Structure 1
């Protein structure tokens, strides 16, 4: 008998239908020589500390670091899981062959390997590796079954990740809780969780400590067109342009010289310039026209889909993951937990049939029918595809979708159709003019051939039934704005003006921008090619980033204000306590992530990785235990804290003199100085800086060097 094990019952049913297994049993489906069973995600997990050494059950600094000589797994304590495992165990003990039908990814491999190990499976094992759950994909997958040994590096990477997270999380959480938590609350530390929190806290500090600078913009109205004065670039801007050109020569801007006036930072200078030009004719000195093309947007990987859904619909990363997972299980989109935006060449011959199946989108697919589809290297590239390709529709009819699922499906489908349309062709016009030697510039854009843009264009008349237009707001930025016809040498009267402006602080992270920052290890990157290069060092995996953000909410380290992610006082204090860069640096954590990817590619040794991690944890324990500064977390977050996932719960008023629950009764209430007394005092967190007054809170003068002390007004 051949035993197939899937990751969930619905997938097992799909596989059983294809294999001809029709007889439903308790915990599996049988027939045609197959027994198809399932897990419910993880059935097994790594053992708890006390299951290795009984003395580790008590939280004690003297027991750290806890590093078992050999790691073991156990069955998750749950009656339903235990019952299903006994069924699986019985099937595997009598199997002639096992087919691992788990999700085709690192986590899916780990889930099923642990179950097979725990069940004592000893027969040959094959691996089903598919990117969609359509009948055609399942049949093709079973015709090309692989030996499970081919996926040993994938399993080793997943196992290394799990052990690494255990070693760091268990030790660092106990370490920081016991050392700095004052026995009031657990301070949760994680390999990906903590640097992600640090990104949010750092951005919040930059905003809190930002001092707006006033400046003025000189412009003039000529022939109903606004021309803005050209501003000379600073040395920093020129250096950045040079650096960008070296990193990405293809995208380097053509050198135009550093022309223009210096930035206007005082009103008197601006008024003098305006007076200087108001009675002088405006003369057009240059008219430059250039044609260009714009390729269709890339197909979605999981992160870019989560970013887009957060921008357009305010869906959280976790919501989007659940929605695209549901679409995958409903067989209308391909495997979602991917980190590539490319397709492999073998998908190209299947694309006409996929397009033909998208009947609600016939108005867009009809022009492509019967002709050879465009095959762009920006879409089809085997070298950019590893385990799975980008997320695309399968061509199955999108029936029985929820409203939220329809929106996500619509995004994926339009992107897919668009890559087979021609590039958008446009013309740009740049006009330079001057008045009394002060140069001004205006630019215009005209769409010559919309190409792929018709897929996203207004009016909203060609939308499939039940679909809403997701691009209406974003499209406003892409509107063409043509200029009147200007001729070099023409001259005439104009109307100058001087507008007051203020420099703006960085924007708080949203889930969309945080996902991008996690993907590129904290570097803000707009260019797709450079982003691809940085992905290797990103923190977390596409499939785990949503869970990391949700964990920060659940720990009450962050909360949501509209779409913005705000660190709570506890989150801020926790990051301030951590001096070990390996715990909170996105770049350094990204290096560990890269090593895990290299294990998967067989270019790095799993044993070496774990030994390095154990050494790092030992050093962190030694460093924290040697800290004699008496630093502590002073803020306690109530469990009813307002977050994105919980509502505001009114707390009963405390009677005067009563202490907060779980607070140490021996600790007297601190005397809080008045606001006027705070400024200039020594920082209570780092001890180095002094208290300064910001826009909305008091902070520390050493904030640039990492101190996170903050007291709201």
Structure 2
């Protein structure tokens, strides 16, 4: 008998239907030589400190650092989990072969490997690895099953991450709570959550300590167009007034008119983070809500695997793209076909295959998030919003570049030079796919269609100068969108898509875990929401102020850990070396904090 195991009952039912296991039993389905069972996410977890040593049952500074000689796993303490594990264990003991059908990612691999270890599996194991839950993808996956050993590095990376989080979280949380907390407050410290909190606290302090400074801007209106002095801002009103008197009553003359044509490529396809960012910006969805929505679309077979950090497709997806376009052409919501005209515009000829979309070298386990070609039915409003983002981004990727022109006009009044710029879309290209969206929700640095009057070099006339007092503004609070971007780039402020992609390797947290990290900070009451803004609470600020160890608060150092975990997954770094480094670092942190003779307290 071949036993297949999925991560959720709903996924198991889909797999069972495809392979002919149609007879239902308690905790599994059977038929056609298969038994199909499931987990409920994690059934097992790393043992707690109290499972290793009586000395670790009670919180004590003297017991730190807690470093088990060998890490072990145990069943999660839950009646439903124990019942399901007993069913899985019995099926495994009688199995001739097991097919791991867990989610095709690091966490999915870890979930199933731990269950197999706990059940003492000895029979051969194969791996189902698919990027969507369509019937076709499941059939293809079963026709091309992989050997379990092929995914050993993925498991080792997941295991190293779990052990690293245990070592730092368990030790640092007890250490800081016992040393600095008051009123039985627990100070939660995490490998990713603490540097993320540090980003928010740092921004909060920059805002709180900001002192606005006045400055003066000199501008003038000529032919209903605003020109701004190229000298920039004036530090004092006196300087501004002096410049103003130089131009008041003088004729304004156009000295230069320059037009430049440029093109703008379609935005890259979505990875999870960029999708969460747009969901937050456009609809106000939290990172967690966006992840849950796209996961639901995946389980409904409508979009591909969501927990991805690449924005590229592999070459073998290209032949499937016309079929996906055809499904989008036929898609209707409330009797309206939102994509038909955009698909029709690129129909009638082979779809292009640009390198900015198709690049095998840029894809490891899964490709970017795209529609599957299954026509969506009965979506909630929120699911429809997310699907619409994915569908339009996919269609736009195959449209021509947007062509626009930039006009720069220089003018002179007296001795002072002024400048005005305007952009005009000549050929909208891919932007037509987003024509119904408000301008500010399309893409960063959108060329506007505001057309400037036609100016001629040498023309002159009357103008209306103005001197306006303004004030410098503080940095903006993080929103979930900008915080996700900061986590992706280890705190570096990066707008350029190419540079941001290069920094992803050193981002903090995985795309799939960042939403949970942000939610943890809310639950710990370290941060709070104020409309869309994220603010650090007094407790969150006090905690970061108390932590002096850069290893715990630096997004850059944590990003370097993430790079090592990725390298373990890609066979470029040794898992045991990563764990040994962490053990040494934790020991050093414990010794440093124990040596602190200050009387700092959090919560007083």
TM-score range, shorter chain: over 0.9
Count of matched residue positions in the alignment of Structure 1 and Structure 2? 594
2:33 aligned with 1:63: no
Q: 5+ residue gaps in structure 2?
A: 332-338
Q: Distance in 1 between matches of 2:442 and 2:44?
A: 47
Cα pair 2:217 2:232 within 8 Å, conserved: no
Residue correspondence of structure 1 range 433-582 to structure 2 within 5 A? 433-458=411-436, 471=438, 473-475=440-442, 478-582=447-551
Q: Distance in 1 between matches of 2:506 and 2:102?
A: 27
Structure 1 stretches of at least 4 aligned residues deviating more than 4 Å after TM superposition:
475-478
Cα pair 1:216 1:264 within 8 Å, conserved: yes
Cα pair 2:305 2:366 within 8 Å, conserved: yes
2:10 aligned with 1:16: no
Match of 2:94 in 1: 94
Give the SS at the match of 1:263: coil
**Distance apart, 1:371 and its partner CA:** 1.0
Give the SS at the match of 1:91: helix
Cα pair 1:177 1:183 within 8 Å, conserved: no
Cα pair 1:299 1:342 within 8 Å, conserved: yes
Deviation per residue, 1:385-440 (Å, 9 max, x gap): 11100000001011121111000000000000111111111111111111122111
Cα pair 1:101 1:128 within 8 Å, conserved: yes
Cα pair 2:301 2:372 within 8 Å, conserved: yes
Cα pair 2:104 2:131 within 8 Å, conserved: yes
Q: Distance in 2 between matches of 1:297 and 1:225?
A: 31
Q: 5+ residue gaps in structure 1?
A: 231-260, 459-468, 636-713
**Distance apart, 1:542 and its partner CA:** 0.2
Residue correspondence of structure 1 range 652-691 to structure 2 within 5 A? none
2:253 aligned with 1:283: yes
**Distance apart, 1:262 and its partner CA:** 5.8
Match of 2:378 in 1: 400
Pair 1:475–1:164, CA change in 2 (3 A): closer
Match of 2:365 in 1: 387
Give the SS at the match of 1:218: strand
Match of 1:628 among 586, 590, 597: 597
Q: Distance in 2 between matches of 1:267 and 1:188?
A: 51
**C-alpha RMSD over aligned residues:** 1.1
Match of 1:609 among 562, 578, 589: 578
**Distance apart, 1:367 and its partner CA:** 2.4
Cα pair 2:526 2:536 within 8 Å, conserved: yes
Give the SS at the match of 1:501: strand
Match of 1:320 among 264, 275, 290: 290
Match of 1:592 among 551, 555, 561: 561
Give the SS at the match of 1:368: coil
Residue correspondence of structure 1 range 89-168 to structure 2 within 5 A? 89-168=89-168
Q: Distance in 1 between matches of 2:362 and 2:469?
A: 48
Give the SS at the match of 2:4: strand
Residue correspondence of structure 1 range 342-381 to structure 2 within 5 A? 342-358=312-328, 359-360=330-331, 361-381=339-359
Q: Distance in 2 between matches of 1:374 and 1:440?
A: 44
Cα pair 2:404 2:447 within 8 Å, conserved: no
Deviation per residue, 1:29-84 (Å, 9 max, x gap): 10001111000000000001011111100000000000000000000011111010
Higher relative contact order (CA 8 A, sep 6+): 2
TM-score, normalised via structure 1 length = 0.82
**Distance apart, 1:472 and its partner CA:** 5.9
**Distance apart, 1:634 and its partner CA:** 2.6
Give the SS at the match of 2:478: coil
Residue correspondence of structure 1 range 117-266 to structure 2 within 5 A? 117-230=117-230, 261=231, 263-266=233-236
Q: Distance in 2 between matches of 1:152 and 1:538?
A: 23
Deviation per residue, 1:645-674 (Å, 9 max, x gap): xxxxxxxxxxxxxxxxxxxxxxxxxxxxxx
Give the SS at the match of 1:536: helix
Give the SS at the match of 1:608: helix
